[in-house]
Amino acid sequence: MENKYLQEELIRISGVNPKKCMRCGKCSATCPAYDEMEYHPHQFVNMVESGDIEPLLASKSLYRCLSCFACIDRCPRGVEPAKLVEAVRLAAIRKQGANHLTADKVPAMLDEDIPQQAIVSAFRKYSK
């Protein structure tokens, strides 16, 4: 029941229709953070579509997505997987209460091998 509600909520906040996906896998093919993720972009879309959202909420993959939007750019069907990832992230934050992380906890969680989400999305936003 909650899955159904969550699924609808995710589709609503992201504005993504996962049913448009034709399962070509170009999002996962193009993803630079693929190896760091437990669930890959195409799986995000598929799992939201099938309502299998709990594992996504618990997964670290949420914070491994760089938010570079390469998948959005390349998706031939206009599904926009990164928006879905962003929506799941938001759902996780809302679930835990808005202030689930304190600033001093962040450094320990960072992965040195991959660039930080905030930096990448800032580049994306402001480089235009």
Partner 1 sequence: MQRVGVFVCWCGSNIAGTVDVQAVSEALKNEPGVVFSTNYQYMCSQAGQDIIKDAIAEHKLTGIVVCSCSPRMHEATFRKTAAAAGLNPYMVEIANIREQCSWVHKDMLTGTEKAIILGKAAVAKVNLNAPLTPGESPVTKRALVIGGGIAGIQTALDIADAGFPVDIVEKKPTIGGKMAQLDKTFPTLDCAACILTPKMVDVAQNENIRIFSYSEVTEVKGFVGNFDVTIKKHARFVKEDICTGCGACTEKCPMKKVPNEFNLGMDNRSAIYIPFAQAVPKVATIDPNYCNMLKKGKCGLCAKVCAAGAIDYTQKDEYISEKYGAIVVATGFNPISMDKFDEFAYNQSKDVITSLEFERLTNAAGPTAGKLVRPSDGKHPHTIVFVQCVGSRCSACAEKGKEYCSKICCMYTAKHAMLTRDKYPDTEVYVFYIDVRTPGKNFDEFYRRAVEEYGVNYIKGMVGKVTPEGDKLKVQASDLIANKQLHIDADLVVLAAAIEPDKSARPLATMLTASMDTNDFFTEAHPKLRPVESPTAGVFLSGACQGPKDIPETVSQAGAAASKVIGLLAKDKLTGNPCVAHSNELMCNGCSSCERVCPYGAISYEDKEFRMPDRTTKIRRVAVVNPAVCQGCGACTVACPSGAMDLKGFASAQIIAEVDAICK
Annotate each residue in 9-38 with x if it binds partner 1 (CB under 8 A) or - if it does not, as one string.
-----------x-xxxxxxxxxx--xx---
CB-nearer residue toward partner 1: 81 or 91: 81
Q: Which of the stretches 8-16, 59-67, 68-76, 107-115 binds partner 1 when contact is defined by CB under 8 A?
A: 68-76
What totals of helices (H) and strands (E) does the chain contain, helices first? 9, 0
Nearer to partner 1, 5 or 34 (CB): 34
> Which residues contact residue 11 at a Cβ distance below 8 angstroms, ignoring those fewer than 6 apart?
17, 18, 48
**Which of 19, 54, 55, 78 forms a contact with partner 1 (CB under 8 A)?**
78
CA 95/CA 128 separation, integer angstroms: 33
Could you tell me the two tokens for 112? 């040195």
On the CB side of 54, how many CA atoms lie within 13 Å of its CA?
A: 4
* Joined tokens for residue 9: 């909520």
Which of 9, 51, 57, 77 is in the footprint of partner 1 by CB under 8 A?
A: 77
* By the rule CB under 8 A, 83 interacts with partner 1: no
Binding site for partner 1 (CB under 8 A): 20, 22-31, 34-35, 40, 42-43, 70, 74-79
